[in-house]
Chains A and B, each alone.
Chain A
Amino acid sequence: MVEKEPIKASEIDTKFKYEITKMHGGEKLMRCFQCGTCTSDCPVARFSETYRPRQIIRMTQLGLKERVLNSDTLWLCASCFTCTDRCPQGVEVASVIRVLRNLAAEKGIVPRVFKEQVSSVLDSGYAYKIPELRMKKRESLGLPPLPKGNPESICKTLRGLGFLKHLEKQGE
């Protein structure tokens, strides 16, 4: 995160916070009064020099949209939900971060590991490509066959999402 760069007034998107509070999980963003419980209880922040959930929340409140959405640290959250459970103001911190990730993803900013899982689900119904060998091994272990994953049916249900097309384009 480029915290050391001075903030220019032109960078501030004053409507950004309302964009977030309209989204599922982001509703309580404005309740945050920066106590820092989230950062001090965050297991990732303990080992990261840059990941600070409190800072992400504050930047979001301030409307530093581009900085937040382009920040690598957004993707470090382990989604353990400790911050959400302990926030004295009831902010769903981890969900605000997820909302921000979703918005970044819409702009095409997604680390490869997440992108791969999405395309794997669309192709096979599973987040990881399960090798044929594994399937055969199940038989020899006496395990029932795996659900087929049903990618056709999944894609049918997801067809209505404009998002899907966007993602496919990126994969090309």
Chain B
Amino acid sequence: MAENKYLIFLGCAIPYRVSAYEISSRKVLQKLGVELVEMPEFNCCGLPLDPVSHEMMLILAARNLALAEQKGLNILTLCPGCAGTLKKVNKVLKEDKALREEINRHLKEAGLEFKGTADAKHIMQVLIEDVGLEKIKDTVVKPLTTLKVAEHNGCHILRPREFIGFDDPEDPKTLKTLIEATGATCLDYMDETECCGAPSVGVSDKIALQLARDKLNHIKMVDAQAMITICPFCHIMYDTNELRIEKMFNETYGIPILHYPQLLGLAMGLSPEELAIGELRVDASKILKQIAEGEK
């Protein structure tokens, strides 16, 4: 399979309400020579159905993988949930012949068959493994050297380790390395790998918001000027809810939450408009100003 050509897999959350992530990802991937192919036959990865029916999840994920196999291309996802699900199902079905046959009986109804010949990768994995750090650094024309940020990984691109096999879930380095490639400093902070709480929204908003607040607190403690995410759900959790948390707990954070491709795009010299930074709920003008002044 061609190394830098992928079927783009958007999932549900991104088209629903996180288009800034898609816009900025497409821009930076284009700059890096990654070709994205649209796939009108894709559907939900299956993850949201797993709590209700594991079998349904397996069928939906296998359907997407089988479609990619037909095209002879690997999948690039922006959402760690989609990447994690597709990776896990790919591994399980490749190894478990009986299960594969069972799932294929269902897929046959739609004229599809899972063979296990396509891979699914998250954008972060494509950047570090296929594009490579050197190429990324070469595109950085405006290093963000004055900026100090904190990273937040999405759980599903790291865990469960046995199925995902990417980076170290206890001490992940990829996102940090990618952030540092932009010239920005990536700060360490307490409980870095802690979940954002998004999956608990709708079941207990209170618990979900307390989790998000904890993270914002830890990031504030080290004086990070922004949080960098690579997951649409984590982003919604922090960006959309930051004001709500501030009100609820009578606290002030004022920490803008940027999608990693937005940060990289700024370092590539793309404008905030091109990267849809205006779509962020938490005002990022302070760091944009700082970046602009840094250039002078």
Residues of A near any B CB (own CB < 8 A): 23-25, 43-44, 46-48, 75-82, 84-85, 92, 94, 98-99, 101-102, 105, 110-115, 117-118, 121, 125-128, 130, 134, 137-138, 141, 143-151, 153-154, 156-161, 163-164, 167
Contact = CB atoms under 8 A, between A and B. Distances in A.
B55 A121 contact: no
Interface stretch (B174-182, B191-199, B261-269): B191-199
B22 to A, nearest CB: 7
4 pairs of A and B residues whose beta carbons are closest in the complex: A113-B202, A81-B159, A80-B195, A125-B43
Given A98-B50, A121-B60, A160-B105, A143 B211 contact: no
B51 A114 contact: yes
A67 B99 CA distance: 30
Contacts of B195: 43-44, 78, 80, 82
Contacts of B13: 127-128
B12 A128 contact: yes
B132 interface: no
Contacts of B156: 79, 81
B252 interface: no
B116 interface: no
B15 A127 contact: no
Nearest to B26: A143
A144 B38 CA distance: 8
A94 B200 CA distance: 14
26 contacts: A44-B211, A82-B195, A102-B53, A105-B51, A112-B202, A113-B201, A114-B51, A114-B52, A121-B43, A121-B48, A126-B43, A127-B44, A127-B49, A138-B19, A146-B15, A147-B38, A147-B40, A147-B41, A149-B44, A153-B43, A156-B109, A157-B63, A157-B107, A160-B105, A163-B55, A164-B56
B10 interface: yes
Contacts of B19: 134, 137-138, 141, 143
B243 interface: no
B203 A113 contact: yes
Given A121-B44, A128-B13, A163-B53, A154 B60 contact: yes
Given A99-B54, A141-B23, A161-B106, 13 more contacts: A78-B155, A81-B156, A85-B160, A101-B52, A110-B51, A118-B48, A143-B22, A154-B43, A157-B59, A157-B106, A160-B105, A163-B56, A164-B56
B249 interface: no
A150 B43 contact: yes
B15 A130 contact: yes
A113 B198 CA distance: 13
B139 to A, nearest CB: 21
A94 B110 contact: no
B133 to A, nearest CB: 26
B42 interface: yes
Contacts of B161: 85
B207 A47 contact: yes
Contacts of B110: 153-154, 156-157
A104 to B, nearest CB: 9
A81 B154 CA distance: 11
Nearest to B207: A47
Contacts of B48: 114, 117-118, 121, 127
Nearest to A78: B199
Contacts of A25: 54
A115 to B, nearest CB: 7
A126 B16 contact: yes
A105 B44 CA distance: 20
